[in-house]
Structure 1
Amino acid sequence: MTGGPSRRTILGMIAASGIGGLAGCSYASATGKPAHTVSVYLGNRDAVRDVTVTVEAKDGTVVFERSYALSDDNEAHEDATFPESATPRDVVVAVDGYQFQRSWPEFTGSNNQCSDGNWEGIEVWIEGGPDEPPTVRLEGNCQHVTLD
């Protein structure tokens, strides 16, 4: 689609216009429980990737696991959640038979801490072209998301 807005731009505009309507929803409810977020992005939209993201607690308990089929038609999945009361330690990402293990980002120090009312989350970026082995980049983020 040459010259037109990107899919993310359009989705962003739709999301921004609908925020006012969500004010009473449980997603942003003051009574909800705090949640960590997991967002997954395909860095090269020419690639097609099968991805599974698993988050483990200190004791090895799986606190989050989800599989994704990423492609140009589905290049991102944002804001999957799991309870903030879980203490994530390791992130295991399987991409097309390759496995990557990363530590949950440290949110310590004044530059990395989430501000009041926001909780720790991650962005998982799947990189590499269609004829290249995948690589994984993990970044921390902070968002205000709650669960019922």
Structure 2
Amino acid sequence: AQIKLVKRLISQPETFDLDKVLIELETKKKFLMKHRSSDYATILKGLESGELIHPNIEEAKRAEVKKLRLIEETEAKRLVKEAEEKAMEAIAEDLEAKAFQLKKQEEEKAKQKALEAKAKAEKLKAAAIKAEKIAAKKAELAALEFEEVED
């Protein structure tokens, strides 16, 4: 069996799966160890008659299925992790955009308040000028009245 494996390895190295071969050898070893008291001819007759059950490829297939499931689970975990990372990046970008938008809104509010304060100051200045003119006219009228009273 080992010679066959070596020949197969030499002739077809690209199709040679070491894991499968090791599993196959292990199952054959277990089978032979179980029936080591029998000679080769007895084992062969037992296999032909059906008294002995050959270690079929099912064990190797099960091991390979487990290996494939493990690979699939690992790949699925990696994909989930990538998706979570992308989701976190999207959330972070969204938060940054919202923060930028809030900052702009705050700046606009501050500009609006500054404009309102400036307009209010201009109104107060205009009112002060008007009050000053009124006071000047009243003072002028009072002066004229005072002159009339003196005359």
Q: Which category describes the TM-score, using the shorter chain as reference length?
A: under 0.3
Q: What TM-score do the two structures reach when normalised by structure 1? A: 0.21
Answer 1 or 2: which has greater strand percent. Answer: 1
